[in-house]
Amino acid sequence: MTPKEVLEMAKENGAKVVDIRFLDFPGVWQHFTVPLSELNESSFEDGFGFDGSSIRGWQPIHASDMLVVPDPATAKMDPFFKEPTLVLIGNIQDPLTGESYSRDPRYIAQKAEAYLKSTGIGDTVYFGPEAEFFIFDDVRFSSGTNSAFYEVDSVEGIWNSGREECPNLAYKPRHKEGYFPVPPMDKFQDLRTEMLLVLESLGIDVECQHHEVATGGQAEIDMRFKPLVEMGDQLMWFKYVLKNVAYRYNHTVTFMPKPLFEDNGTGMHTHVSIWNEGKPLFAGDKYAGVSQEALYAIGGILKHCKALCAFTNPTTNSYKRLVPGFEAPVNLAYSSRNRSAAIRIPMYSASPKAKRIEFRTPDPSCNGYLAFSAMLMAVLDGIENKIDPGEPLDKNIYDLPPEELAGIESAPGSLEEALAGLKEDNEFLLKGDVFTKDVIDTWIEYKTENEVNAVKLRPHPHEFFLYFDI
pLDDT tens sequence across 303-322: 999 999 999 999 999 999 99
| 192 annotated active-site | no
| 220 annotated active-site | yes
Catalytic residue chosen out of the listed positions 19, 71, 104, 132? 132
| 177 annotated active-site | no
Q: What is the pTM of this model?
A: 0.96
| 207 annotated active-site | no
Catalytic residue chosen out of the listed positions 78, 222, 263, 358? 358
| 358 annotated active-site | yes
Cβ neighbours of residue 106 closer than 8 Å, sequence gap 6 or more: 22, 23, 89, 91, 92, 229, 232, 233, 369
Catalytic residue chosen out of the listed positions 19, 71, 78, 130? 130
| pLDDT by 10s per residue, the chain, length 470 | 999 999 999 999 999 999 999 999 999 999 999 999 999 999 999 999 998 888 888 877 666 789 999 999 999 999 999 999 999 999 999 988 999 999 999 999 999 999 999 999 999 999 999 999 999 999 999 999 999 999 999 999 999 999 999 999 999 999 999 999 999 999 999 999 999 999 999 999 999 999 999 999 999 999 999 999 999 999 999 999 999 999 999 999 999 999 999 999 999 999 999 999 999 999 999 999 999 999 999 999 999 999 999 999 999 999 999 987 777 888 899 998 777 789 999 877 778 888 999 999 999 999 999 999 999 999 999 999 999 999 998 877 767 777 777 778 899 999 999 999 999 999 999 999 999 999 999 999 999 999 999 999 999 999 999 999 99
Catalytic residue chosen out of the listed positions 360, 381, 416, 451? 360
| 212 annotated active-site | yes
Cβ neighbours of residue 80 closer than 8 Å, sequence gap 6 or more: 244
Report CA dihedral (53, 54, 58, 62) to the nearest 10 degrees.
Answer: 10
Catalytic residue chosen out of the listed positions 8, 38, 45, 51? 51
| 381 annotated active-site | no
pLDDT of residue 398: 66
| 262 annotated active-site | no
pLDDT of residue 58: 84
Catalytic residue chosen out of the listed positions 56, 174, 339, 458? 339
pLDDT of residue 63: 66
Catalytic residue chosen out of the listed positions 103, 269, 271, 321? 269
Angle 32-36-39 from CA coordinates, rounded to 5°: 85
Q: How far from 83 is each of 35, 77, 93, 201, 338, CA to CA, in Å?
A: 11, 10, 29, 17, 49
Catalytic residue chosen out of the listed positions 19, 104, 186, 220? 220
pLDDT tens sequence across 103-125: 999 999 999 999 999 999 999 99
pLDDT of residue 17: 98
**Side-chain half-sphere CA neighbours of 232 within 13 A:** 30
| 132 annotated active-site | yes
pLDDT of residue 441: 97
Catalytic residue chosen out of the listed positions 78, 212, 222, 233? 212
CB atoms within 10 A of CB 36: 17
pLDDT of residue 291: 96
pLDDT of residue 154: 97
